[in-house]
Structures are given as C-alpha cells and as structure tokens.
Chains A and B, each alone.
Chain A
Amino acid sequence: MIKDLFNKQKPKKKKYATIPTEASKQDVPEGIMQKCPKCKKIMYTKELKKNLNVCMQCGHHHGMTAVERRDSFIDEGTFQEFDAGLTSTNPLNFPGYLEKVDVDKQKTKMNEAVLTGVGRVEGFETVVAIMDANFRMGSMGSVVGEKITRAIEEAGRRGVPFIIFTASGGARMQEGVLSLMQMAKTSVALKRFSENGGLIISVMTHPTTGGVSASFASLGDYNFAEPGALIGFAGRRIIEQTIHEKLPEDFQTAEFLLKHGQLDAVIHRHEMKEKIAFLLDIHQQGGELA
C-alpha cells in the first residue's frame, strides 16, 4: 500500500513483543539469576546465596531472610525456636490487615516479622531475635514486641547473652498506638535484663528505621551494623521536606552513623559470626591471667 511506503521512511518501534513459549520459559526458571542493584552485575542466585547474599563483584549486602541469617550465624543443629505459633489479631479492626498478614505468612513461611530462639554461636549459648524485612516490611506490631520481650526474658532466665538482628521499617501502622507501645515494652524488658548483668548485642541490617531504630536496635551494649544498611529515625523524604535541603548521598547509611559516633563498628557479613563470637568469648565470666 502507498500508506505503508510512507511509514517506512520513519521506522516505527517494533510493534510486537516476542512472547516466549512455555518451553523457552522453562529454560531459565525464575530466580536462577539475580542482578545486583548496586553494580548491576548478574549472578547465579545459588552462588550469591553461598556467598551469604553478598555481591561477588562490589560487596553489596543483599537482604537476607531470617532463616538464612539463622543458618549463617547459629551453629548447625543447635537452634530451638521460641513462640513459633504467636500470631497477630486485629486490635483496631483495621480493614484488610489480617489478610495482608496471611499473604506474608504464606510468602515467608513465618508467623511474624521476627524469628526468636536459642542456639549456639561457635559454642556459646545465646538467645537470638532475627527480624525479617520480607514480612510486612519487618514492622513491629504486638507479636513482634511480645516475641522479642519473651526472648529477652528467656535470655535472662538462662543467663545468656541476647543478640538481635534488626530489619524493620518501624512501627506497624495497622496496630496503631499498640505498635508504638511495643517500643516501650521491649525497652523496659531490656532494662531489666541489663540491670541483671545481661549482655545485649544489636546488629542493624538494612533497613532499620523508625520505632525499631528508636528502641531495641539502639540499646545494645554493642551496636553494630552491616555495610550500607539504611539506619535512621525519620524518613529521608520527610527530612528533606522539613529542612528544604538536599541530603548527602550517604545520609543514614551505616557508614554515616559510624562517622557520627552512633555505632561501635560496621561489620562485613562474612566476618559477623567470628567477630560476635569473639565478643561472646570476651564476656565469659572469670578470666585468668596466663
């Protein structure tokens, strides 16, 4: 057609997308490869997992599920979980809340945004609480607060250290002021534990913000963070709107906090277990001069 002739002079973008056949889809199953959001390198997911989700090229620390974290940190076969059945109710009758919780339960195979239990770290018995940012962004509602509080109390009963890995966007909006009060509850429990000589180690992982950063995450005898983790109280956008100023690129990163005296150290994930085990050893009672 004449019309088509004219069109040819101005080549249009390809109109059609190639839809892969079922067979070709199966050639590369979903999730087999993963792209580093920082350096854009494409890696085999399996290889990345083996490297504890740390990018092989640039060292970027990707997220970890609570279970992956447990497996990387606790001696194999020593972990006993606490309160696996504790689950959220809907105290404010917030529309659609429990449905969202259910979706995340399916997705993460967890009952809530924190995994708690007791295990050994290079032989040292320790109670741990590991948050999972994949469950409602790791937000803290009544169950998270209660599980952490019970874990702290259990550490007190056993006379062992309490270690927490935080990963949370803050309070769980759908539980309103009850979620706010979990900051109080966990802090009150930590105070008692601390008064009785308990050792608290906090490791902030990406992201640790809002009510979680303003409670137990900052209350360790030792406060550590993973490289590049976002840590802060107020959100970046709110601050920019309030002070009408562009914030520096590294604002609220672990390195930024370290520079401003807010952290004891930033620890690479590959060295996490070894360094914390060293601290646990330092805290064994009754050393002897050789």
Chain B
Amino acid sequence: MIGLEFEKPVLELKGKIAELKEFTSTSDVDLTEEIEKLEQRLKKLEKDIYESMTPWDRVQMARHPERPTTLDYIGYLFTDFMELHGDRLFGDDGAIVGGVAKYHGMPVTVIGHQRGRDTKENIKRTFGMPHPEGYRKALRLMNQAVKFKRPIICLIDTKGAYPGKAAEERGQSEAIAKNLFEMAGMEVPVICIVIGEGGSGGALALGIGDKLFMLENSTYSVISPEGAAALLWKDAAQAKRAAETMKITAGDLKELGVIDAIIPEVSGGAHRNVAQQAALIDQTLKPALEELLQLSVPELLGERYMKYKQIGEYTL
C-alpha cells in the first residue's frame, strides 16, 4: 500500500503492530497487552489524522495511484455490465468508458472517466483525459439511454479534457459544450458522482444532472491547484496554498451549494476497501435514484433547470 506524507504516523504504527504480532506468534513472549494498547492508539491516531485532513491532503488522496477507478466501482455497484465503444464519428476514446448495466435489477446506462491503473494502461487511456470522441461517445450512450428510458449514472474522475493538437482540431470545446447542453435536456434521471478528481470543463462534460454527489476525499475545481498557483501567483509550487484558497473539497462545494451530498469514505481513503466504498456509494445512490424515478419528465427537467439556475453569487 502506497502511503501519503500526512498519514505516515498511521502507517508506521501499523507496521510496528504487525511486527509485534509476528513476534508474539513466533516466540514465547506474550505481547498481547502491548498490542492492544497500540491498537487503541492507532484508532485514535487514525481518527485524528483522517478527520483533520487539509485540502492538500485530500488532493493527494484523490490522486492516489491506488484510488478505485470507474471500472473498479462498476464491478461492485452493478451486475451484468456490458461496455459499449465508439462515437460513430471518429473513434473510441479509452479515457471514457460506458455501457449498459443492471443496478439493483434495473437497467441503467453508466458512463465514467477512466484512468489507467498502471503506466501502460494510462498511456492507452491518456491518463483519463478525454478527447472529443470520448465526450461524443458519452453523448451517444446518453441519447440511447433516453430512447430506452434508462436512468444515467456518471462517474467523474479526470484531471481535465486532454490538452492536445488533435483534440482542438476535432472540437474539444464544442464536444464539451454540446454535452452540457444536451445533458440539460435528458428525459431520464441523471446522477453524477465525483469519485476522484473533478477537473474543470473536462469533468463538467459528464456532470450535468439531477443529483451531484462527491466522495469525501474527491475534489472538484475550475483548474488544478498547480495551474491556479501558476496563473495567480506565477509559481506552481504554491499549489498547496491554491488548494486551500480555491475551495475544491467536497465540504467546500457543499457549502457553496454546488453539490447535493457528500458520500463518506472508508477511513484512510476509498482505496483501503473498494467493496466497502462501493457499498457506501450505494447507500446514497439508491435512495436518490428512487426519489428521481417518482418525478414526471417535466418535473425532472424543471428541477434540473432550477438546480443550475441558482448557482452563483452576486449582488445588485
């Protein structure tokens, strides 16, 4: 397990406990009492550390190399997932995956950004940063969902849309804009969940829906902390400061009225136990979907309109 800087004390203590346990089992000296004491200390330490994470700690957690990806969650949240490929216009973008699945028995369409789980896969999936064909594939699958009246579930996890020459030539702006526009009118429930990094327009292009949730240690921002620091203070090294100033954590977004709820994470981060994390997502997702399924199409679209209409702060 790869440890982050701020959680080092926890990991060190865990290591020590493991050592003592090993020692107890192989020698005559009984250290059970000491181990118990240390385990209690560990519990307290975990509570202290994981409950007082700074925004920057959460950024690290959201980017953790072992953080579960869209496909990891799909395996736990849905049964009988079938991946569907291609935008029918240009190609198939591995940075976005999508398909049909069953959620508690109900047919749904699920779409999400997909990071690679190792370098080779990351190159194939351009590090989860989509090209226009990715967004157009997503839109194609969403339109299909509407035709067959399937709810849409989007999992958001990207540093942003891919900044490349080909992406610009094929209309990155238009592809994102079109998704925002069309998602506003999808005549089925749309639920969006930020599971890792929600990076700017590239994230938003899968993010217009009736409910927007964020995992506790995910982030959602207009620009990466490094980018913000470079722009605002001409110094990318100030990313930590930017992470605080820019208000990018789930708690911040809840306070700003942008998201509907925060999905709690397994102590120490989602990667500690994917199955348990998927269950925590399920606990929020299921009632939300049940609620939305009660609404008529005009009610659904009317509420979606008002949800976005009220975002923003200004005075007269």
Residues of A within 8 A of B172 (CB): 214, 232-234
Q: Is the beta-carbon distance between A188 and B305 smaller than 8 angstroms?
A: yes
Q: Is B170 part of the binding interface, using a Cβ–Cβ cutoff of 8 Å? A: yes
Known: A142-B314, A176-B246, A215-B177. A234 touches B204 (CB 8 A): no
Q: Which residues 148-183 of B have a CB within 8 angstroms of A?
A: 161-165, 167-174, 176-178, 180-182
Known: A173-B232, A184-B208. A189 touches B314 (CB 8 A): no
Q: Is the beta-carbon distance between A192 and B169 smaller than 8 angstroms?
A: no
CA–CA, A289 to B168, complex, Å? Answer: 43
Q: Is the beta-carbon distance between A142 and B313 smaller than 8 angstroms?
A: yes
Q: Is the beta-carbon distance between B170 and A260 smaller than 8 angstroms?
A: yes
By size class, the interface of chain B is: 35 or more
B128 to chain A, nearest CB (A): 14
Q: Is A149 part of the binding interface, using a Cβ–Cβ cutoff of 8 Å? A: yes
Q: Is B245 part of the binding interface, using a Cβ–Cβ cutoff of 8 Å? A: yes
Residues of B within 8 A of A195 (CB): 185
Q: Is the beta-carbon distance between A181 and B311 smaller than 8 angstroms?
A: yes
Q: Is B68 part of the binding interface, using a Cβ–Cβ cutoff of 8 Å? A: no
CA–CA, A181 to B309, complex, Å? Answer: 10
Q: Is B316 part of the binding interface, using a Cβ–Cβ cutoff of 8 Å? A: yes
Q: Is the beta-carbon distance between B177 and A216 smaller than 8 angstroms?
A: yes
Q: Is A19 part of the binding interface, using a Cβ–Cβ cutoff of 8 Å? A: no
Residues of A within 8 A of B245 (CB): 92, 94-95
Main secondary structure of the interface of A (DSSP, over half): helix
CB-CB nearest in chain A for B220: A177
Q: Is B223 part of the binding interface, using a Cβ–Cβ cutoff of 8 Å? A: yes
Q: Is B304 part of the binding interface, using a Cβ–Cβ cutoff of 8 Å? A: yes
Pick from B168, B245, B304, B309 the residue with the most CB of A within 10 Å. B168
Pick from B173, B231, B313, B315 the residue with the most CB of A within 10 Å. B173
CB-CB nearest in chain A for B310: A185
Q: Is B53 part of the binding interface, using a Cβ–Cβ cutoff of 8 Å? A: no
Q: Which residues 182-221 of A have a CB within 8 angstroms of B?
A: 182-185, 187-192, 194-195, 210-211, 213-219
Known: A184-B204, A247-B165. A178 touches B316 (CB 8 A): no
A113 to chain B, nearest CB (A): 13
Q: Is the beta-carbon distance between A217 and B173 smaller than 8 angstroms?
A: yes
A222 to chain B, nearest CB (A): 13
CB-CB nearest in chain B for A235: B163
Residues of B within 8 A of A191 (CB): 181-182, 184-185
Q: Is the beta-carbon distance between A183 and B201 smaller than 8 angstroms?
A: yes
State which of B163, B184, B304, B312 has its C-beta within 8 Å of the C-beta of A145: B312
State which of B174, B246, B315 has its C-beta within 8 Å of the C-beta of A87: B315
Q: Is A91 part of the binding interface, using a Cβ–Cβ cutoff of 8 Å? A: yes
Q: Is B196 part of the binding interface, using a Cβ–Cβ cutoff of 8 Å? A: no
Q: Is A86 part of the binding interface, using a Cβ–Cβ cutoff of 8 Å? A: yes
Residues of A within 8 A of B177 (CB): 183, 187, 213-219
Q: Is A77 part of the binding interface, using a Cβ–Cβ cutoff of 8 Å? A: no
Known: A234-B167, A234-B168, A260-B170. A219 touches B178 (CB 8 A): yes
Q: Which residues 137-179 of A have a CB within 8 angstroms of B?
A: 141-143, 145-146, 149, 171, 173, 175-179
Pick from A181, A210, A216 the residue with the most CB of B within 10 Å. A181
Q: Is B221 part of the binding interface, using a Cβ–Cβ cutoff of 8 Å? A: yes
Q: Is B20 part of the binding interface, using a Cβ–Cβ cutoff of 8 Å? A: no
CA–CA, A167 to B168, complex, Å? Answer: 18
Q: Is B139 part of the binding interface, using a Cβ–Cβ cutoff of 8 Å? A: no
A123 to chain B, nearest CB (A): 30
Stretch at the interface among A50-58, A62-70, A237-245, A278-286: A237-245
Q: Is A251 part of the binding interface, using a Cβ–Cβ cutoff of 8 Å? A: yes
Q: Is the beta-carbon distance between A185 and B221 smaller than 8 angstroms?
A: no
A225 to chain B, nearest CB (A): 12
CA–CA, A119 to B6, complex, Å? Answer: 58
Q: Is the beta-carbon distance between B314 and A86 smaller than 8 angstroms?
A: yes
Q: Is the beta-carbon distance between A87 and B316 smaller than 8 angstroms?
A: yes
Residue positions of A touching B, CB distance < 8 A: 85-89, 91-92, 94-95, 141-143, 145-146, 149, 171, 173, 175-185, 187-192, 194-195, 210-211, 213-219, 231-235, 238-239, 242-243, 245, 247, 251-252, 260-262
25 contacts between A and B (CB under 8 A): A86-B314, A86-B315, A87-B314, A88-B314, A89-B313, A89-B315, A92-B246, A146-B314, A176-B246, A177-B246, A178-B311, A179-B222, A183-B201, A183-B204, A185-B309, A188-B208, A190-B181, A191-B185, A213-B177, A214-B161, A214-B177, A216-B177, A234-B172, A235-B163, A242-B162
| Seed contacts A171-B222, A242-B162; 15 additional CB < 8 Å A-B pairs | A142-B312, A177-B222, A177-B258, A178-B311, A181-B204, A185-B312, A187-B177, A188-B308, A188-B309, A191-B185, A215-B176, A218-B174, A234-B164, A238-B163, A262-B171
Residue positions of B touching A, CB distance < 8 A: 161-165, 167-174, 176-178, 180-182, 184-185, 200-201, 204-205, 207-208, 220-223, 228, 231-232, 245-248, 252-253, 256, 258, 304-305, 308-309, 311-316
The 6 closest A-B pairs by CB, nearest first: A234-B163, A142-B312, A187-B180, A191-B184, A218-B177, A213-B173
